[in-house]
């Protein structure tokens, strides 16, 4: 029997357990053609949930490098977060946890469901989630084990590192395979609410199988869009499916995400959303973190220095607009947090439970609708796909307001349209908001990426960091005043104009377990292949 990496979250998936013995339950060799495999139904939701948990770890990594998180007063030991003197031990968790948990489990699901029509949707979902996790690794580390990864049972214990750009191309193939599987399955079992904590649990009632799998297809197509935008390959956009047809007469609608892609396997106070557990409160209601505050750089997109945005600021930050802020690296007179208050959580009347940290039961986003719309706007701006980039751009801003004004249970506290109108009116003529005021496509792209950066603040900060490296936006002034300088003021290890590292190092775990393929990289100059800045 193949080894499985299963971590069972008691209570969430308990319906899948029977009174049979463990040996009977796990024996997948008795009937290899059985249309129902209890272990697959357990492994897929575990892998999706683990992908969400690691998304939180990537968010924290991107928050520090992408200019969102600064050190608060009263704490020491920030070390190389302040000067960027990176070490191989710094980000082991991103690498090890991704390979060890979701990717190993997703690989198992794929191998156990390949070619089995009844389990086609499990296979397709696992392939899509595999792309999510491998792309995150490539964007952080560049070349990674891919074609030979997860093949320990075949005797490959020192997998080679594949070329990052080639991996990107193969991820496109995997997404096409997954969408074809969804389209062509004849008698598939549905992904239940328990087995699909991403799109199966979005409403209080069971959604139709057509609606659920259309969402998976839209997610796959939006991931393709992200990869193609990052590649900048005009020819590749012809492979996007822009004319969805639902096999069960369900209205197809948009070819891209129509809502935020949010994982929620049943988070609650004692099993909280991982982002809430990191930046909010513990299960005993103590502050989970009191050593970080927003950066002066990121806060300038809310307090009027660059953009006036009280609408989103009031949902996101404690005591807005007098939230304690700091430039990363400043340890002289740096502010402490508001005593007893979660920094990235609103305490405004009527807005508690909205914003970035809504509560322990909130879902964990894998991709925001706002990101999807800004990706579309950029592709439309460049003529890669048809559409009105201006209209799509404002849809992205509206989607950002909508997400932040949702409560812990996904209900809207305020309608976004009036908030967006007030936002655009308050920033009339500001080309970072009013894209029509931009003089050329470079300035239009700056508006799109800047708004994407704002939308991803402390939600998917790693994607904002990726987009900064790819485009150079939002703009920074090296050595300038804190609202305009994205870097730590203690940066002293890179000669780059922006004083930021280009990437993180391969982890020390690879030095120990894959020494023949491990290599030292220069984090001050060596770039991920799509980083042309």
Identify the band that residue 247 occupies on the pLDDT scale cut at 50, 70 and 90: low
The answer to whether 129 and 50 are in contact (CB under 8 A) is no
**70: β partners:** 293
- Helices 461-471 and 38-65, packing angle to 10 deg: 60
User: pLDDT tens-digit profile of 329-339?
Assistant: 999 999 999 99
What's the burial of 72, exposed, middle or buried (CB within 10 Å: 0-12/13-18/19+)? buried
Residues 6+ apart with CB under 8 A from 303: 313, 321
More confident residue, 23 or 238: 238
The answer to whether 329 and 488 are in contact (CB under 8 A) is yes
Q: Give the pLDDT of residue 204.
A: 59
User: pLDDT tens-digit profile of 435-480?
Assistant: 999 999 999 999 999 999 999 999 999 999 999 999 999 999 999 9
The answer to whether 45 and 194 are in contact (CB under 8 A) is yes
Q: Give the pLDDT of residue 147.
A: 97
User: pLDDT tens-digit profile of 293-312?
Assistant: 999 999 999 999 999 999 99
Residue 184 has pLDDT above 50, yes or no: yes
Identify the band that residue 210 occupies on the pLDDT scale cut at 50, 70 and 90: confident
- DSSP for 390-429? HHHHHHHHHHHHHHHTB-TTS-BSS-HHHHHHHHHHHTTT
Average pLDDT over residues 23-28: 36
Residue 27 has pLDDT above 50, yes or no: no
User: pLDDT tens-digit profile of 56-95?
Assistant: 999 999 999 999 999 999 888 788 889 999 999 999 999 9
Residue 48 has pLDDT above 70, yes or no: yes
Q: Give the pLDDT of residue 50.
A: 98
Residue 522 has pLDDT above 70, yes or no: yes
Gap between the Cα atoms of 273 and 283, Å rounded: 11
Average pLDDT over residues 270-294: 96
Considering the chain, what percentage of its residues have pLDDT values greater than 70?
Answer: 90
Identify the band that residue 252 occupies on the pLDDT scale cut at 50, 70 and 90: low
The strand pair at 364-367 and 161-162 is best described as: unpaired
pTM, full prediction: 0.91
Residue 21 has pLDDT above 50, yes or no: no
What average pLDDT is seen over the chain?
Answer: 90
Specify the CATH number of the domain 44-271+356-513: 1.25.40.390
Average pLDDT over residues 24-36: 41
Average pLDDT over residues 498-510: 95
Region for residue 253 given its phi and psi (left: phi exceeds 0; alpha: psi -120 to 50; beta: otherwise): left
The answer to whether 56 and 206 are in contact (CB under 8 A) is no
Owner of token pair 């009105």? 388
């Amino acid at each position: 029997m193949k080894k499985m990496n299963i971590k069972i979250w008691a209570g969430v998936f308990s319906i899948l357990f029977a009174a049979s013995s463990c040996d009977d339950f796990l024996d997948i060799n008795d009937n290899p053609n059985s249309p129902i495999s209890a272990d697959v139904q357990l492994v897929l939701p575990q892998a999706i949930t683990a992908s969400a948990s690691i998304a939180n770890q990537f968010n924290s990594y991107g928050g520090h490098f992408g200019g969102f998180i600064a050190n608060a007063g009263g704490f020491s030991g920030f070390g190389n977060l302040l000067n960027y003197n990176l070490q191989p031990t710094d980000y082991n968790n991103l690498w090890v946890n991704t390979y060890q948990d979701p990717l190993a489990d997703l690989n198992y699901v794929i191998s156990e469901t390949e070619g089995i029509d009844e389990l086609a949707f499990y296979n397709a979902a696992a392939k899509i989630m595999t792309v999510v996790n491998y792309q995150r690794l490539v964007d952080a580390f560049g070349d990674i084990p891919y074609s030979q990864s997860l093949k320990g049972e075949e005797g490959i214990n020192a997998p080679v590192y594949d070329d990052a750009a080639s991996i990107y191309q193969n991820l496109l193939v995997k997404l096409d395979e997954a969408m074809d599987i969804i389209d062509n399955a004849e008698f598939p079992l549905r992904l239940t609410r328990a087995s699909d904590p991403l799109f199966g649990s979005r409403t209080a009632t069971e959604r139709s199988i057509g609606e659920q799998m259309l969402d998976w297809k839209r997610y796959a197509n939006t991931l393709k869009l992200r990869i193609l935008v990052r590649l900048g390959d005009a020819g590749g956009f012809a492979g996007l499916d822009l004319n969805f047809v639902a096999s069960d007469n369900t209205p197809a609608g948009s070819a891209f995400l129509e809502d935020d892609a949010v994982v929620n396997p049943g988070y609650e106070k004692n099993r909280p959303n991982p982002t809430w557990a990191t930046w909010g409160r513990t299960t005993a209601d103590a502050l989970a973190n009191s050593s970080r505050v927003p950066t002066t750089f990121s806060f300038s997109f809310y307090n009027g220095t660059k953009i006036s945005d009280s609408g989103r600021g009031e949902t996101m930050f404690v005591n807005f607009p007098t939230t304690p802020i700091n430039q990363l690296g400043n340890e002289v007179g740096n502010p402490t947090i508001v005593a007893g208050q979660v920094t990235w959580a609103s305490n405004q009347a009527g807005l508690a439970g909205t914003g970035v940290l809504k509560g322990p039961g909130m879902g964990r986003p894998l991709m925001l609708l706002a990101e999807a719309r800004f990706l579309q706007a950029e592709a439309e701006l460049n003529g890669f796909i048809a559409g009105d980039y201006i209209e799509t751009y404002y849809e992205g801003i509206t989607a950002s307001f909508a997400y932040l004004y949702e409560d812990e249970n996904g209900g809207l506290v305020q309608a976004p349209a009036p908030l967006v109108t007030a936002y655009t009116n308050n920033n009339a003529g500001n080309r970072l908001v009013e894209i029509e005021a931009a003089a050329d496509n470079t300035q239009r792209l700056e508006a799109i990426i800047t708004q994407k950066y704002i939308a991803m603040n402390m939600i998917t900060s790693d994607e904002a960091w990726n987009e900064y490296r790819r485009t150079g936006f939002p703009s920074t002034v090296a050595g300038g005043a804190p609202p305009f300088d994205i870097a730590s003021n203690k940066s002293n290890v890179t000669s780059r104009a922006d004083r930021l590292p280009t990437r993180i190092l391969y982890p020390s775990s690879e030095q120990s377990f894959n020494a023949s393929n491990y290599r030292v990289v220069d984090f001050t100059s060596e770039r991920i292949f799509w980083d042309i800045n």
